[in-house]
């Protein structure tokens, strides 16, 4: 663990990413303290520029505070990204492990299913799912999960496929060890590093997808999110550039930070592992 931390902290970019991410998480956790009011609350000062009328980052067309929106939106983005990723990793690991370990017909069937899901343009599929389920936090999480598990499944399948023929796994068979124990206790720990890496990068992608959905008006209408502010400020682009600009920068910085951390993890956990999708 200390060895891992040493390698990770050698990577300046990764440490920078971790610091930024820490700040975003901090912002999300104190959002209720610094902006105790509902971020949807409108005021008498629409379209104030940054710094005017006590709005740090300006206000939108009906006078809602952009800065408050960003603070509360951070919570939404991080939460959705995290939950969807955990769910997707869970499903992907199960699919990939079964397909890779058992091979043959099981693999054929599971991988065809995965292939179908990978063929479908994921963002359109997500739009479709949210549209059918009606926009809400839950439907957004489900949609992101549904479109992102195949990548994990493929990765885990590949790892299992390679590892199951390793001699240490064969040795377990000769000892009479059961399949479930071999999968969970012997093989899975050996592919945790790539799973952690792909998981961390998936959080970033999930945040991008969530903001995209919100931008198209498919966010939960009762929950403040970065994509929502941008989508709402779009029509005011000519008169109030700040409404769209700041939440976008928030997304950019957060996603960038997560990507940096993810790459740092990649380098630190497995120097030979290269970029995978």
Partner 1 sequence: MNRSSKILRYVSRRLLQGIPIILAIVVMNFFLLNLAEGDAVDVLAGEAGSATPEYMEEMRKKFGLDKPLTVQLAHYLKNVVQLDLGYSFRHDMQVTELIVDRFWPTLLLMVSTILLAVGFGVLLGLFAAVNLNTWKDAVVSVFALITYATPLFWVGLMMIILFSIKNDWFPTSGMENSAAFYEGFDRLKDIAHHLVLPTITLSLFYLALYTRMMRASMLEQYGQDYVITARAKGVSERRITFIHVLRNALLPVVTMAGVQVGALIGGSVIVESVFAWPGLGMLAFESLFARDLNLLLGIFLLSSGLVVAVNLVVDVIYCFLDPRIEVN
Partner 2 sequence: MTDKLLKISDLDISLPEGSERNLAVENLTVDLSPGETLCIVGESGSGKSLTARALMGLLPAPHVRISKGKIEFCGEDLTKASDPRMRQIRGSEISMIFQEPMTALNPVMTIGVQIDEIFRFHVKMSQRERRLRAIELLEDVKLPDPEQIVAAYPHELSGGQRQRAMIAMALALEPKILIADEPTTALDVTTQAKILKLISDMQAIHKSGVLFITHDFGVVADIADRVAVMQYGRIVETGSVDKVLNKPEHRYTRALIASVPSLVPRAPRTRSDKIVLSTESIQKRFGGGKSFFGMGKPNRFVHAVKDVTLDLRSGETLGVVGESGSGKSTLARCIIRLMDSDSGKIMLDGVNICNLNRADMRPWRAKIQMVFQDPFASLNPRVKVGEIISQGPMIQGADRQTAQTRARELLEIVGLDVRAFNRYPHEFSGGQRQRIGIARALALDPEILMADEPVSALDVSIQAQILKLLDEIRERMNLSMVFITHDLRVAAQVCDRLAVMRYGEIVETGATREVFDAPQHSYTRELLAAVPGQKWDRQLAN
Contact partner, 29, from partner 1, partner 2, none, Cβ < 5-8 Å per class: none
Indicate the burial class of 2 (C-beta count within 10 angstroms; 0-12, 13-18, 19 or more): exposed
Please count the other Cβ atoms lying within 10 Å of the Cβ belonging to residue 189: 9
Please identify, using beta-carbon distances, which residue of 112 and 276 lies nearer to partner 2. Answer: 112
CB of 264 to partner 1, least distance (A): 12
CA 213 to chain centre: 14
What span, in angstroms and rounded, lies between the C-alpha atoms of 168 and 245?
54
Contact partner, 251, from partner 1, partner 2, none, Cβ < 5-8 Å per class: partner 1
262 near partner 1, judged by CB under 8 A: no
Gap between the terminal Cα atoms of the chain? 26
Among 53, 86, 125, 196, binds partner 1 (CB under 8 A): 125
Residue 34's SS3 state is helix
270 near partner 1, judged by CB under 8 A: no
Contact partner, 124, from partner 2, partner 1, none, Cβ < 5-8 Å per class: partner 1
Q: Where are the alpha helices (DSSP H) in 165-240?
A: 167-175, 179-181, 192-215, 226-233
Please identify, using beta-carbon distances, which residue of 120 and 161 lies nearer to partner 1. Answer: 120
Q: Tell me the window of 32-40, 65-73, 78-86, 107-115 that interacts with partner 1 (CB under 8 A).
A: 107-115
Please identify, using beta-carbon distances, which residue of 187 and 218 lies nearer to partner 1. Answer: 218
Q: Tell me the window of 49-57, 59-67, 108-116, 188-196 that interacts with partner 1 (CB under 8 A).
A: 108-116
What span, in angstroms and rounded, lies between the C-alpha atoms of 27 and 189?
34
Residue 57's SS3 state is coil
Which residues of this protein are in contact with partner 2, per CB under 8 A? Answer: 104-105, 108-109, 112, 166-178, 186, 189-190
Among 174, 180, 238, 271, binds partner 1 (CB under 8 A): 238
Which residues neighbour 83 within 8 Å (Cβ) at sequence distance 6 or greater? 141
């Amino acid at each position: 663990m200390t060895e891992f931390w040493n390698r990770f902290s050698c990577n300046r970019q990764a440490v920078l990413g971790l610091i930024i991410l820490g700040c975003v998480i901090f912002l999300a956790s104190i959002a209720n303290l610094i902006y105790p009011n509902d971020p949807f609350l409108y005021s008498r000062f629409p379209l104030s520029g940054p710094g005017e009328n006590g709005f740090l980052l300006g206000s939108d067309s009906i006078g809602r505070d952009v800065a408050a929106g960003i603070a509360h939106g951070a919570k939404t983005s991080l939460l959705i990204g995290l939950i969807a990723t955990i769910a997707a990793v869970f499903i992907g690991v199960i699919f990939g492990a079964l397909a890779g370990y058992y091979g043959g017909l099981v693999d054929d069937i599971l991988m065809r299913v995965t292939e179908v899901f990978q063929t479908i343009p994921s963002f359109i599929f997500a739009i479709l799912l949210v549209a059918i389920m009606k926009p809400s936090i839950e439907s957004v999480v489900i949609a992101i999960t549904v479109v992102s598990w195949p990548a994990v499944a493929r990765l885990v399948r590949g790892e299992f496929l390679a590892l199951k023929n390793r001699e240490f796994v064969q040795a377990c068979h000769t000892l009479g060890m059961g399949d479930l124990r071999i999968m969970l206790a012997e093989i899975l720990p050996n592919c945790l590093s790539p799973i952690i890496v792909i998981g961390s990068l998936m959080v970033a992608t999930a945040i991008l997808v969530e903001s995209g959905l919100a931008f198209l008006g498919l966010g939960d209408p009762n929950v403040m999110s970065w994509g929502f502010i941008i989508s709402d400020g779009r029509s005011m682009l000519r008169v109030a550039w700040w409404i769209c600009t700041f939440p976008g920068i928030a997304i950019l910085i957060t996603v960038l930070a997560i990507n940096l951390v993810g790459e740092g993890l990649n380098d630190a956990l497995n120097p030979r592992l290269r970029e995978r999708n």
